Amino acid sequence: MPDDRSQSGPDAFGAIAAEICEYVDKEDPPPEGIFEIGIVLAGAISAGAYSSGVMDFLIEALDAWETAKEMERKTGKPQNEWSVPSHDVVLRVLAGASAGSMTAAIAAVALRYDFPHMDASAASAPGKSANPFYRAWVQDIDIRELLKSEDLSEQGTLVSLLDSTVLEQITNRALDYTAVPKSRPYLRERTRFIFSQANLRGVPYYLPIKSTYSAGLGMWMHKSYRSFAASYTSAVPKARRDDAILPMRNSSADPVWRLLGNAALGSGAFPVGLAAREEDRNISDLDYHFFTYIDPSTQKQVSKQLVPAWNAEGSTVVPPTRFKGFVVDGGTMDNEPLDFARMELAGQIEQNPRGGKEAIRALVMIDPFPDTLADVNNTIAGEHGDLFSSTFGLIGAWKNQARFDPADLALALMGDVYSRYLIAPSRRISQIDPRTETNGFDLASGCLGGFGGFLSEEFRRHDYLLGRRNCQQFLAQHFSMPAENPLYNSWSAASKKEWCISKELPIIPLVGKLRMEIPLPKWPTRPVELAPLRELLEARVVAVAGSALDMLKVSWLERNAARLGIMLLRKKLLGYAMDHVLSDLSKRNLPRVRA
């Protein structure tokens, strides 16, 4: 039913009519002839350029297919006589973590407009691009901006090792993007954006336990999310009760769009490296965490809504109406937020049908850094017990344990599953592996723990174009189902024969010029000048150290002693950092000039 929603505070948006869709155990299946998809954008750091390239081509492919269908529709011919596949795909949800959330936020804006797509020719053109993905992830972000000191206030408040000011500027520019509006039939009035976050304040829960006095077990949930609903049609949006509803007109001056940008920045706030973001939201938004379990009386799986401690039975706490706290990188706890997207498509306890002949929905995960067997066989972690190894090892163990999901592991062991797909970097061409020139690596941005892309626009351009190529190959060769799936009932026998891919049919077919294979982008050749980088890094180290001393409010003697220590260690630390950069670039056969 329509619901005039209004909120107060920084996420206020007046009264926007919306149809509230309650969380349910099982979502209704899509109508016959419609296949629903959810996009999951994993954490990527600087390899967000790769994910953006994938999104760019995916949108281009969907647009081209819809245009071809509309041309066939105008002929008046029945669908089984069309020259292109006649079924429909609906994009229902984009769930992101870290850099993936930033890419999803750009998509929330870009999907309203007809924007140019970036092939190799367009990417080599001078000037700033009109493609919002390319401009944000390839042209505007750079290590030189991150090493400035515009974030250090006169009060000496140090919020991160890197200057995050440029990220706010890029976000605002993306939110203000505009072009000729474009209608996209694969977007309906129910499109949701979900960003995983790590909530530093946490939500308290209380488990009463029988004892000799009133007591129980207190627990805190720090794994969190921020969600938004949008309508890409003239109909009112359909939203969950904890969604902020995005107005049709985007602007960085609009409080809800600004909230979207802040939530994406919070999801991508790499701990210590980038600034945490403050969230201010209705406390009722935190009521919508669920868990599933087997009911012992029925032996059936059921879902239960978790009740925060302030709403628990017997609680004397009067909760505030607003919940304020800082959030950081959602990838620290949920780097591949599959469950957010799955539950939006299927429901709290329902699973998407997994067989190829029964599948009606699918999740497509875009992951620039999928774990490999080489990571699993890491024998270094946990082998040393010194103070530093133990401390950093524990941090890594916390992160890995928070991300561990036995349900995903069990699903992966089931064999052929047509409800989950993965797009990941690959420079392979058929059976030929051209990665000898890259020492076996696919991404230029993968060096320096994923921060390497910030060193060079050429690195980011390569990864963006590789993302476009990999998306094309994925749609052409892998995103398909058996011809017996009811989705293809309206196809003629001739169409099934023409579009057949290894005895399967495409879910998103490539039409027109998009069927021409995108060439493999050239591996970067322009050297990274490390001397200017060293100067910027040195200036940032001095500025950060000074700000840290201001925060500690040390005495004159302590301050000067610390400055002397910094001067003595500075050259050694910078030398170590530059050697590490050179070593990592060398491993990937990436060009560099020694500082």
CA proximity to 267, closest of 223, 308, 231, 229 = 223
* Per-residue pLDDT, 2: 41
In a domain, 50, yes or no: yes
pLDDT over 60 (residue 326) = yes
* Per-residue pLDDT, 383: 67
pLDDT over 60 (residue 372) = no
> Sign (positive/negative) of CA torsion 66, 69, 73, 78?
negative
Secondary structure class of 227 (helix, strand, coil): strand
Out of 241-245, 397-401, 513-517, which region has the weakest mean confidence (pLDDT)?
Answer: 397-401
pLDDT over 50 (residue 14) = no
Cα distance between residue 454 and residue 274, in whole Å: 14
* Per-residue pLDDT, 546: 82
Cα distance between residue 438 and residue 578, in whole Å: 21
138 shares a domain with 46: yes
Pick the catalytic residue from 329, 334, 367, 584: 329
Strand bridging mode 592-593 / 322-329 = unpaired
Boundary-marking domain end, from 495, 511, 526: 526
Cα distance between residue 293 and residue 302, in whole Å: 6
For the ranges 300-314, 317-331, 443-457, the maximum mean pLDDT occurs at 443-457
Q: What percent of the chain has pLDDT over 70?
A: 87
102 shares a domain with 114: yes
Boundary-marking domain end, from 526, 552, 568: 526
The predicted-structure confidence for 135-176, as pLDDT tens digits, reads as follows 999 999 999 999 999 998 755 688 999 999 999 999 999 999
End-to-end CA distance of the chain: 64
543 shares a domain with 512: no
Q: Which domain does 540 fall in, by range?
A: 527-594
More confident site: 181 or 390: 181
In a domain, 305, yes or no: no
Secondary structure class of 146 (helix, strand, coil): helix
In a domain, 128, yes or no: yes
In a domain, 503, yes or no: yes
> Around Cβ 476, how many Cβ atoms within 10 Å?
18
Out of 29-38, 354-363, 487-496, which region has the weakest mean confidence (pLDDT)?
Answer: 487-496
48 shares a domain with 79: yes
Strand bridging mode 504-506 / 480-482 = antiparallel
* Secondary structure string (H, E, C) spanning 305-321: ECCCHHHCCCCCCCCCC
* Per-residue pLDDT, 318: 75
Over residues 237-250, the mean pLDDT reads: 95
The predicted-structure confidence for 305-316, as pLDDT tens digits, reads as follows 988 988 877 676
Cα distance between residue 281 and residue 303, in whole Å: 25
pLDDT over 90 (residue 592) = no
Strand bridging mode 34-41 / 191-208 = unpaired
Quick one: pLDDT band at residue 327, thresholds 50, 70, 90?
Answer: very high
367 shares a domain with 272: yes
In a domain, 308, yes or no: no
The predicted-structure confidence for 101-136, as pLDDT tens digits, reads as follows 999 999 999 999 999 999 999 998 888 999 999 999
544 shares a domain with 502: no
The predicted-structure confidence for 82-99, as pLDDT tens digits, reads as follows 999 999 999 999 999 999
Q: What percent of the chain has pLDDT over 90?
A: 60
Cα distance between residue 352 and residue 360, in whole Å: 7
519 shares a domain with 453: yes
Out of 11-20, 123-132, 267-276, 388-397, which region has the weakest mean confidence (pLDDT)?
Answer: 11-20
Out of 121-135, 287-301, 326-340, 419-433, which region has the weakest mean confidence (pLDDT)?
Answer: 419-433
Pick the catalytic residue from 46, 52, 86, 98: 98
Q: Are 12 and 93 in contact (CB under 8 A)?
A: no
* Per-residue pLDDT, 3: 44
DSSP 447: T
570 shares a domain with 536: yes
In a domain, 192, yes or no: yes
**CATH number of residue 83's parent domain:** 3.40.1090
* Per-residue pLDDT, 141: 96
* Per-residue pLDDT, 190: 92
Out of 31-40, 74-83, 558-567, which region has the weakest mean confidence (pLDDT)?
Answer: 558-567
552 shares a domain with 481: no
CA proximity to 152, closest of 556, 501, 547 = 547
Boundary-marking domain end, from 494, 526, 558: 526
Considering its fold, how many domains does the chain have in total? 2
Catalytic status, residue 98: yes
**pTM for the full predicted model:** 0.91
Q: Are 354 and 481 in contact (CB under 8 A)?
A: no
565 shares a domain with 465: no
* Per-residue pLDDT, 9: 35
Q: Are 443 and 368 in contact (CB under 8 A)?
A: yes
531 shares a domain with 504: no
In a domain, 234, yes or no: yes
Cα distance between residue 108 and residue 94, in whole Å: 9
Place of tokens 């599948």: 359
> Around Cβ 213, how many Cβ atoms within 10 Å?
4
* Per-residue pLDDT, 10: 36
243 shares a domain with 176: yes
Cα distance between residue 243 and residue 231, in whole Å: 13
The predicted-structure confidence for 532-578, as pLDDT tens digits, reads as follows 999 999 999 888 888 887 777 777 777 777 777 777 788 888 888 88
Catalytic status, residue 234: no
> Sign (positive/negative) of CA torsion 466, 93, 231, 74?
positive
* Per-residue pLDDT, 374: 44
Mean predicted lDDT score pLDDT of the chain? 87
> Around Cβ 221, how many Cβ atoms within 10 Å?
15
In a domain, 396, yes or no: no
Quick one: pLDDT band at residue 274, thresholds 50, 70, 90?
Answer: very high
User: Which own/partner pairs from 261-265 qualify as long-range (CB within 8 Å, at least 24 positions apart)?
Assistant: 261/105, 261/171, 261/172, 261/174, 261/175, 263/101, 263/105, 263/195, 263/197, 263/226, 263/228, 263/327, 264/96, 264/101, 264/102, 264/104, 264/105, 264/171, 264/195, 265/102, 265/164, 265/167, 265/168, 265/171
Strand bridging mode 361-366 / 420-423 = parallel
pLDDT over 70 (residue 13) = no
